[in-house]
Structure 1
Amino acid sequence: MIIHILAQSPNPFDGVVPNFDVFGVEFNSTWKKLLGGVWGLAFVLFAFGAIRATLELQSAKRNGYESSVAGHTAALKRSVIGLGLLASLGLIFGAVLAVF
């Protein structure tokens, strides 16, 4: 019975879409610049992490440190997955917004 009552209640967010134009053009351009800067910084951090993990992995393999190889391999995998997710973040958000 409660489910039936909830199904009949109107959706207060029906027809509402996210829109930053209400805050003005300056705010709209500022948050886009800020988001782009943070996104770019994240790419740099993950790229340096991938380079560092690759160098450490090669050094561990070359010197025969088998116990370190697993840890460096995991760090390299995390960095590469992070780079892949960052690169596809625009597509993911675009798909979500297209659905709604």
Structure 2
Amino acid sequence: MDNPLDGILPDFSFGGAEFTALWQKLIAALWAIGILVSIGFLIFGIVAMAGASGDTNPNPQAHAQGRRKAVWAGIALAALAGLAIIVGAVLSFAG
């Protein structure tokens, strides 16, 4: 069986120039919000680590939880920062 999608490429200009500008601004805004949220979680994770490793009352469990939050927030931030490269790489390998 032949590939029914062979030679068909996605075209995002179906709604005209104004619609294209609108969805691009919407995607950029969502991307920026995601970056800000991941930065917030990274800050909270680092603060939790700092608060749990004080000299007066060290708490290894709380430090580990804060570290885990900070690591995942850092991974999310790195993925969001490189989102354009990741999507471009996926599309170039798939296409």
Question: What TM-score comes out, normalization by structure 2 length?
Answer: 0.90
- Superposed counterparts of 1:19-34, under 5 Å: 19-34=11-26
Q: Which residue of 2 aligns with 1:91?
A: 85
1:4-43 aligned within 5 A: 9-43=1-35
**Residue-pair matches, total:** 92
The percent of aligned pairs where both chains have the same amino acid is: 29
> What is the Cα deviation at residue 96 of structure 1?
2.1
| 1:76 alignment partner, SS class | helix
Find out whether 1:72 has 2:66 as its counterpart: yes
2:82 match: secondary structure: helix
Runs of 4+ more than 6 Å apart: none
Deviations 1:3-43 (A, max 9, x none): xxxxxx12111111111112211111111100000000000
Structure 1, unaligned stretches of length 5 or more? 1-8
Larger Rg belongs to: 1
Number of the residue aligned with 1:82? 76
> How far apart, in 1, do the equivalents of 2:36 and 2:70 lie?
15
Determine helix, strand or coil for the equivalent of 2:2: coil
